[in-house]
Amino acid sequence: MVHKILFWSGFGVAVRLWQLGIEMRPLLARESLWVYPIFAGVGGSFGYWMSGVERRHVEVLADRKNRLLEKRKRRAEREAAAAGQQGNRSEEGGILASTS
């Protein structure tokens, strides 16, 4: 999580540098140095928020995967039970047919 926050903080600083480059202003002018921590803070906040979004998405996907696996397991059990019952019926029919 920390690496994502640091990345987005650096991205915020890069955006500020890009902004000053587009404006062709000095990058490290004394009167505009106070803005860099703001851009880093906004970027870090976005990174923190994205970490939470990713965590929630991973939880939802894991839950959905577990539900699908359980559903497939129940279906396989149902099909195996149905196939077993059909096999027993054919054997019973064969026994009855041979005895009559």
* pLDDT on residue 89: 58
Q: 28-63 burial, b if ≥16 CB within 10 A, otherwise e?
A: eeeeeeeeeeebbebbbebbbeebeeeeeeeeeeee
- Give 74 or 89, the one with higher predicted confidence: 74
* pLDDT on residue 30: 84
94: pLDDT strictly greater than 90: no
96: pLDDT strictly greater than 80: no
* pLDDT on residue 85: 82
The beta strands (E) that lie in the chain are given as none
* pLDDT on residue 93: 53
Measured CA to CA in angstroms, residue 4 lies from 35, 48, 53, 54, 98 at distances of 21, 7, 12, 11, 75
* pLDDT on residue 41: 93
Closest CA to 5 of 47, 54, 53, 55: 47
Lowest-confidence segment of 1-5, 7-11, 18-22 by average pLDDT:
1-5
φ, ψ at 97 (rounded to 5°): -70, -35
Tell me the average pLDDT across 33-55.
92
The model carries a pTM of 0.63
Tell me the average pLDDT across 52-60.
96
